[in-house]
Amino acid sequence: MEAIVLAGGFGTRLRAVVPDLPKPMAPVAGRPFLEILLRTLAAKGFTRVILSLGFMAEKVVSHFGREFCGMELVYEIETTPLNTGGAVRAAIGHCRSDHVYVFNGDTYLDLEVAELERQWQATQKVQIVVRAVEDTARFGRVDLAQSHIVAFREKGAAGPGLINAGCYVLPAAALDAFPLGQPFSLETEFLIPAVQTTSVGGFVTQGLFIDIGVPEDYDLAQSMLAEI
């Protein structure tokens, strides 16, 4: 299996905590966060990872090289910010499979990969991983019916519900209509229109989910991920 990890963001909200590193290299429990993420992907059966990099890319490349935990690492380094969609569009060109998993480089997700792979094989359609949380206000809400995404709702809706966990399964040709090198949002310019016009699968994960992109959750990750 192949994965794309989006690890090119500036990490503005963590800049005061980690001023001299790209966000995915922020130390968590004594290791770069990206190392924890990659070890988890290797344990889940991934054999090839395309790392989409930008800000301070050289720090990631020099740390990991071309192989880590038995996985081949491929680098796609953007010279200008491409947003999430443009970054995936560039990285997906390196894929050899008919589908690819996409992960955020600042989110730890203990995903049930084998189950999600079965759902992909049964449908061959875009899959969005969702997670139940106690308060969706920070994230925005996702509506699910019979394993299909039916709507995205804006941030601000409080209370328990499902959120986008920042992980997707995409057919290798999913973004062919978008020009290479042009920035666009994967979420607002591809996924939301896809939900409105086609059938998009939703996979509910029960796994541990933590986004280190804000200081309070970055601090929480130090203890939550210490044993991983």
Predicted confidence pLDDT, tens digits, the chain (228 residues): 999 999 987 667 676 667 778 889 999 999 999 999 999 999 999 999 999 999 999 999 999 999 999 999 999 999 999 999 999 999 999 999 999 999 999 999 999 999 999 999 999 999 999 999 998 888 889 999 999 999 998 777 789 999 999 999 999 999 999 999 999 999 999 999 999 999 999 999 999 999 888 888 999 999 999 988
Q: What is the CATH number of the domain that holds 210?
A: 3.90.550.10
Look at residues 80, 41, 34 and name the one whose alpha carbon lies nearest to residue 59: 34
CA 200 to chain centre: 17
105: left (phi over 0), alpha (psi -120 to 50) or beta: alpha
Q: Tell me the angle at which helices 33-43 and 57-64 cross, rounded to the nearest 10 degrees.
A: 50
Q: Domain tally for the chain?
A: 1
What's the pTM value of the predicted model, to 2 decimals?
Answer: 0.95
Domain containing residue 158? 2-224
pLDDT given at position 18? 73
DSSP calls for 213-226: TSHHHHHHHHHHTT
Q: Are 105 and 24 in contact (CB under 8 A)?
A: yes
